[in-house]
Amino acid sequence: MREIGHFIGGKEMKGGSGRFGDVFNPNTGEVQAKVAFANRAEMERAIANAAAAQPEWAATNPQRRARVMFKFLELVAKDGENLAKLLSCEHGKTIPDARGDIQRGVEVVEFACGIPHLLKGEFSEGAGPNIDLYSLRQPLGVVAGITPFNFPAMIPLWKCAPALACGNAFILKPSERDPSVPMRIAELFLEAGLPAGVLNVVNGDKEAVDTLLTDPRVRAIGFVGSSSIAEYIYATGCAHGKRVQCFGGAKNHMIVMPDADMDQAVDALIGAGYGSAGERCMAVSVAVPVGKKTADILMEKLIPRVENLKIGPSSDAQADYGPLVTRAHLNKVKDYVELGIKEGAKLAVDGRNFKLQGYENGNFMGGCLFDEVKPSMRIYKEEIFGPVLSVVRAKDYAEALRLPSEHDYGNGVAIFTRDGDTARDFTSRVEVGMVGVNVPIPVPLAYYTFGGWKRSGFGDLNQHGADSVRFYTKTKTVTSRWPSGTKEGAEFVIPTMK
């Protein structure tokens, strides 16, 4: 049985704690590897390696750090198919979807290649009598990222690429469910010229996380996962004096106005609701048709599309989606469907009994579609994270606007309409962090920032874009005056620029 250890100090190392987790093949349900869970001593070794390597890396000029990013992009391009297959066989998403996972991570590395420009400070000549003012952006030191199973390439790259480009050393604690791609990313960065110890990957559970949260050498932590864990990491990290950004759960709505192109809207709901088996923090999980006629037409078009979703092994490039990541998660999603029935929602399509011939023990589930879901129901309030779409009928635009605005989560939302006034009003007033207009999954490109509101995000700065540079650096402001030879005497009042 293959064992996955850690990547510390530029070398792959076996786990020493004696504790391991199972890495499953989602297609078959079989255990395909064991991943080591680091103890505190192993985490501290990784932190020590990072702390020792960081000063020299910080002293490397930004242009040379950018060259490492460029070389990494070359290596990923060469190894892209192998990475996609490795990702697919542990996560369960299809190969085309795995390629997209990698690509969206690569785009942030491309953004980080611009670090010489992004780190430029500000300068004001003659801000006062013979006084110049200027600011510097300097790295924090050792920083860390704790990333989820659903994007094992994209989110680690979202975290580590800007951090490394800014001159920090980085410790990555990836999900124990699909750890192989993050380990391979570390190898490729080393091959690209990143000094040993600047990027470390340590697998583990709560013991590893708590070490990162409490060790004073770790100056900042980024996290993506459930809101309950995000809140714990944010509170604990802040209590230990760290800079923290945490992104939690979501319940993304898609508003369908009566004037929307219904075929376009249905295509969007099918792809955004069921792609990657719904295991996306930006998946559309709630459709909100406005008016009875809109809702009836939408359901009439949705039902056959959901019934005819093509579900297959992750190696099937023609499949709409593959298996869920683990049997435990599959059972959790099925439990939510049963709960929805008990709560009184109408299950229009039931995919719980789907079986794939030849893969009967795999974690497969057909698409489920609920109608007449009410805001008081748990299946509306909570994140299901599976191939389940809920339709909440709104009587008018005001109610449709209110639903996502009043929900506890505020990650993403979309509106489908042909009316520019409605779209403009919606984007201005909706209380959600990322908004799509006729775009179902409004994930910004790498040079804008990604982040939700309310219980979807904890902290003041978002992921990638300019916020990532702000998060991974500290600003130093210098006030400079060179003596002119004239003695002015002591000043006892606060300096001003009069």
Confidence label for 491 from pLDDT (cuts 50, 70 and 90): confident
Q: For residue range 140-176, list pLDDT tens digits in order.
A: 999 999 999 999 999 999 999 999 999 999 999 999 9
Beta-strand (E) ranges in 37-156?
Answer: 123-128, 131-139, 142-146
Q: How far out from the chain centre does Cα 97 lie?
A: 15
Domain count, the chain: 2
The answer to the question of residue 318 being in a domain is yes
- The pLDDT of residue 487 is 65
Q: For residue range 277-302, list pLDDT tens digits in order.
A: 999 999 999 999 999 999 999 999 99
Burial (CB < 10 A; 0-12, 13-18, 19+), residue 345, is buried
Q: Is the pLDDT of residue 275 over 80?
A: yes
Q: What would the mean pLDDT of 24-35 be, rounded to a whole number?
A: 97
Residue 65: give its domain's CATH number: 3.40.605.10
Q: What would the mean pLDDT of 392-406 be, rounded to a whole number?
A: 98
Which entry of 160, 166, 281, 368 is annotated as an active-site residue? 281
Told to judge if 166 belongs to the known catalytic residues of this protein, a careful annotator would answer no
The answer to the question of residue 444 being in a domain is no
The answer to the question of residue 493 being in a domain is no
C-alpha–C-alpha distance, residues 495 and 489, integer Å: 13
DSSP 301-348: HHHHHHHT--B--TT-TT-SB---S-HHHHHHHHHHHHHHHHHT-EEE
Q: What would the mean pLDDT of 363-377 be, rounded to a whole number?
A: 98
Same domain membership, residue 115 and residue 20: yes
Q: Is the pLDDT of residue 393 over 90?
A: yes
DSSP classification of residue 278: G
- The pLDDT of residue 276 is 96
Same domain membership, residue 117 and residue 53: yes
Same domain membership, residue 260 and residue 225: no
The answer to the question of residue 112 being in a domain is yes
- Sign, Cα dihedral of 409, 456, 99, 208: negative
C-alpha–C-alpha distance, residues 415 and 423, integer Å: 7
List the domain range (segments joined by +) for residue 154. 2-248+456-478
Same domain membership, residue 156 and residue 104: yes
DSSP classification of residue 265: H
| pTM of the model as a whole | 0.95
- The pLDDT of residue 492 is 80
What is the chain's mean pLDDT, rounded? Answer: 96
- The pLDDT of residue 486 is 61
Q: What is the largest CA-CA distance in the chain?
A: 91
Phi, psi of 121 (to 5 degrees): -90, -160
In order of 19, 31, 92, 355, 473, the CA distances from 362 in angstroms are: 26, 11, 10, 8, 45
- The pLDDT of residue 128 is 85
Same domain membership, residue 291 and residue 188: no
Same domain membership, residue 43 and residue 95: yes
Confidence label for 470 from pLDDT (cuts 50, 70 and 90): very high
Question: Does 392 or 128 have the greater pLDDT score?
Answer: 392
Confidence label for 498 from pLDDT (cuts 50, 70 and 90): low
Q: What would the mean pLDDT of 353-364 be, rounded to a whole number?
A: 96
Whether 475 contacts 136, CB under 8 Å: yes
Same domain membership, residue 65 and residue 31: yes
Confidence label for 497 from pLDDT (cuts 50, 70 and 90): low
Whether 57 contacts 169, CB under 8 Å: yes
Same domain membership, residue 241 and residue 298: no
C-alpha–C-alpha distance, residues 415 and 425, integer Å: 11
The answer to the question of residue 164 being in a domain is yes
Q: For residue range 404-442, list pLDDT tens digits in order.
A: 999 999 999 999 999 999 999 999 999 999 999 999 999
**CB neighbours (10 Å) of residue 332?**
14
Same domain membership, residue 256 and residue 203: no
- The pLDDT of residue 324 is 97
Same domain membership, residue 7 and residue 96: yes
Q: What would the mean pLDDT of 62-81 be, rounded to a whole number?
A: 97
Same domain membership, residue 278 and residue 188: no
The answer to the question of residue 494 being in a domain is no
- The pLDDT of residue 46 is 98
Q: For residue range 32-43, list pLDDT tens digits in order.
A: 999 999 999 999
Instruction: Measure the CA dihedral 383/276/311/297, to 10°.
Output: 60
Same domain membership, residue 314 and residue 210: no
Q: For residue range 179-237, list pLDDT tens digits in order.
A: 999 999 999 999 999 999 999 999 999 999 999 999 999 999 999 999 999 999 999 99
The answer to the question of residue 63 being in a domain is yes
Q: For residue range 111-125, list pLDDT tens digits in order.
A: 999 999 999 989 999
- The pLDDT of residue 159 is 98
With a pLDDT cut of 70, the percent of the chain lying above it is: 99
Q: For residue range 241-259, list pLDDT tens digits in order.
A: 999 999 999 999 999 999 9
With a pLDDT cut of 90, the percent of the chain lying above it is: 94
Q: Is the pLDDT of residue 489 over 80?
A: no
Residue 384: give its domain's CATH number: 3.40.309.10
Confidence label for 483 from pLDDT (cuts 50, 70 and 90): confident
Angle, vertex CA 486, rays to CA 482 and CA 490, nearest 5: 85
The answer to the question of residue 449 being in a domain is no
Per residue, what are the HEC states of 151-195?
CCCHHHHHHHHHHHHCCCEEEEECCCCCCHHHHHHHHHHHHCCCC
